Amino acid sequence: MTQGFRSFVIFAGMRTGSNLLEATLNAVRGVTCFGEAFNPYMMGWPDKDEMLGVTRAAREADPLPLLARLTDKPGHLPGFRYFHDHDPRVLEPVIADRACAKIILTRNPLDSYVSTRLAWETNQWKLNESEVPIPARITYDGEEFRRMLSAAEDFRRHVAGRLQATGQAAFHLDYEDLRDAGVMTGLLHWLGRTDLERVEPARDQVPQNPQELAQKVTNFDSMQDDLRGIDPFGLHRIPHFEPRRGPAVPSFLAADAGRGLLFMPVRGGPGRAIRDWLAALGPVEGAFT
């Protein structure tokens, strides 16, 4: 494992796929996600009242000792999932810890809302390959959806603002990314596990409600009418703060030395010296498109 991050936090919400992401991470040796460690109603997972020797009562009195135990694992990469309604006393210490990698997981909020309501109706929060989904439909409540949407957006903006103010970058994931081996491999490499050649997404969990929304919502037409009053372009936007500019790919240079070298020239940098060095190693190609 390369040096850098000593822990991670997954900023997510209910029914965004965080269980699947946790399962993928926990399948990697040397990586452990301790569930919803600061959920006020449980200790990481349902029916748990103790974690790493810290009781639920002790955590409620002061959550920081548990946070310290979670992150103090030399040679290991520990982390946990954190939602907008988890213990707020933990958020700022986590944000301030630059050695804690920030992962932001999002999903279309309407899909999250419907999935959450279905889970409440059926009490089926995860579905393994051997389990059968419980059929159910929900009634859309516009006011309830707006409250959920507002809480999720406020939380996302707060986290994004604090990361900007502290000069940190997060790894953004969407629900659809969670079954992409390339994205999961990239995530683990970003976390420092460049020793891993490929990371396969967990396969022991399956989508619980793969049907179209019309099959899951009893008042689908009324829901559509209500949603017309909400800006659809703001529902699922992840902010990007990089300057908008075209790619500089045509200026790249490549050489076949070793496993291949790629040079991206930067204005004011030692471009000529590096070009000469690459040329000494072998044929150099450029003018890519």
Q: What pLDDT shows up at residue 5?
A: 96
- Contact between 91 and 9 (Cβ < 8 Å): no
d(CA 107, CA 156): 12
pLDDT 10s per residue in the chain (289 long)? 444 899 999 999 999 999 999 999 999 999 999 999 999 999 999 888 999 999 999 999 999 999 999 999 989 999 999 999 999 999 999 999 999 999 999 999 999 999 999 988 888 777 676 677 788 899 999 999 999 999 999 999 999 999 999 999 999 999 999 999 999 999 999 999 999 999 999 988 777 777 889 999 999 999 999 998 886 555 445 555 554 444 555 567 888 776 678 878 776 677 778 888 888 888 888 766 4
Contacts of 16 (CB under 8 A, 6+ apart): 105, 106, 107, 112, 175
- Distance (Å) of CA 30 to CA 5, 21, 60, 191: 13, 16, 28, 12
* Sign of the alpha-carbon torsion through 37, 42, 45, 51: positive
Ordered domains of the chain (ranges, CATH): 7-234 (3.40.50.300), 249-285 (no CATH)
pTM given for the model:
0.76
Unique residue bearing structure tokens 């976390």: 191
Which pLDDT score, from 0 to 100, does residue 262 have?
80
Q: At what angle do helices 64-71 and 88-96 cross, to 10 degrees?
A: 40
> Residue 259's pLDDT is what?
65
Interval 84-121: pLDDT, tens: 999 999 999 999 999 999 999 999 999 999 999 998 88
- Pairing between strand 31-33 and 253-255? unpaired
What's the pLDDT at 286? Answer: 76
- Amino acid in the structure at residue 158: H
pLDDT for res 244: 47
CA–CA gap between residue 10 and residue 80 (Å, rounded) = 6
User: DSSP 3-state assignment of 50?
Assistant: strand
Q: Are strands 77-82 and 7-11 parallel, antiparallel or unpaired?
A: parallel
- Dihedral of CA atoms 185, 190, 193, 197 in degrees, nearest 10, equals 30
